[in-house]
Amino acid sequence: MRGKISYCFYFLMFTIFFVAPSTAQTSEQKALEAKRERLQQEIKEINRLLFAERKEKGTILDQMEALDNKINVRQELIRVTNQQSNLLNRQINVNIRNISKLREDLNLLKEDYAQLIQKTYQNKSQNNRLMFLLSAENFFQAFKRLQYMQQYAKHRKKQGEGIIKKTEELAKLNQDLVIQRKEKDQLLAENTKAKNELSREVEAQRDLLRSVRQNEAKYTSAIAEKQKEARRIDREIERLIKSAIASSNKSSGKSTSAVKFALTPEAKLVADNFSANKGRLIWPVEKGIKSQGYGVYADKIYPGIKHQNNGVTITTDKGSQARAIFEGEVIAIISVPGGSKGVTIKHGNYISTYYNLSKLYVKKGDKVAAKEVLGDVYTNRFDGTTKLKFYLYRDSNRLNPEEWIYQL
């Protein structure tokens, strides 16, 4: 009976302290692995889109942005890989402890089983078992003795099965341990490689900085021109949005405001559906990388100079097309003198704008569905880069697209 109690107790402890934590750690490991793969893919996309051909390296500004993005992603990759390695190390330590515990449990089971075998051997004679039954004082006692003998045989069988199961568990843990140690060695090797790549990228960035500072006047002039163009585009987009709001409200007869839509029940439903998809909206291009995020950011070469991005800039493949992120209505076509084209779409009281297009496939008043093609993204003939500028508003208020588009 002591062996039976011991077996149940150890099995329960094994389940609580080994199986449950292992499941949680496996889930965490899977999440980290998925994140690591996404970061690796992002680095590949940066290389493919911005560093594929040396003859189309792009402008100095593009190269600095690309290198800066790549360095940031590489640092995040190293951090995630370290997390994976540390998690595996914890799992290895848990497995080592569990192996030790299983060995102790196995020894106890074997001791209990040995005592059972010894007692069975001492009473193995058929005559002894028969005499044990016949020596009973009455039928009830004989029946109880028969039950005892049957339970004893069943318990002995269960102890034997327990030994087999513990032995298999021990073998499995040892096998897992070997695999985990190999995985850890592989992660460490990948991390070493990533750190070496990071060092080369930082050095490349320094070389680029040195070359830029040799021609500082040309670079600062390029910065000023870039800021001027960005402000011109932003002003035109916001002018068109306010004009569209005023026109929509005037036609509905409900409001004359130029800063907030007066929503019909149908428009409110679209807006509510749009809002409910925050963080899950599709990309405005089929594939690409975020080359510049939303908000104020320091210049890559002169950190004292600040830039403002009212949307996000996405670098994509030559020949890529902009697509609607959600169902809606085209409320404006943008055509900046000396610049590219753009499309503005209303989703209830949310507005998405797609700028830097070379050709349009929609016109003002068109109803569009999610993923519907809006136009071709313009490819710069001087540096070969293909970039979409994407903006998001609620009424006339700017929103950060990174909070709305899935994994942007």
What is the model's pLDDT at position 3? 45
Q: What is the pTM of this model?
A: 0.59
Name the E strands within 71-187. none
Q: How confident is the model at residue 269 (pLDDT cuts 50, 70, 90)?
A: very high
- What mean pLDDT comes out for the span 22-47? 69
Helix axes 2-14, 139-213, angle to 10 degrees: 20
Indicate if the pLDDT at residue 405 is higher than 90.
yes
Domain residue ranges in the chain: 2-213, 225-403
Indicate if the pLDDT at residue 325 is higher than 80.
yes
Indicate if the pLDDT at residue 386 is higher than 70.
yes
What is the model's pLDDT at position 70? 74
Indicate if the pLDDT at residue 168 is higher than 90.
no
- What mean pLDDT comes out for the span 130-147? 62
Task: Round to whole Å and give the CA distance between 306 and 40.
Answer: 29
Task: Round to whole Å and give the CA distance between 284 and 322.
Answer: 6
Indicate if the pLDDT at residue 283 is higher than 90.
yes
- What mean pLDDT comes out for the span 211-223? 68
Task: Round to whole Å and give the CA distance between 26 and 204.
Answer: 38
Indicate if the pLDDT at residue 32 is higher than 60.
yes
Which H or E run includes 165? helix 139-213
What is the C-alpha radius of gyration for the chain, rounded to an integer number of angstroms? 35
| pLDDT greater at residue 360 or residue 167 | 360
Chain position carrying tokens 């994509």: 316
Indicate if the pLDDT at residue 373 is higher than 70.
yes
Residue 233: name the closest of 125, 342, 152 by CA: 342
Least confident of 150-154, 351-355, 358-362: 150-154
| pLDDT greater at residue 83 or residue 319 | 319
pLDDT in tens, 69-103: 777 777 877 888 777 777 777 777 777 777 677 67
* CATH C-level class of 225-403: mainly beta
| pLDDT greater at residue 39 or residue 290 | 290
Q: Answer whether 343's CB lies under 8 Å from 334's CB.
A: yes
Here the tokens at position 127 are 């005559």
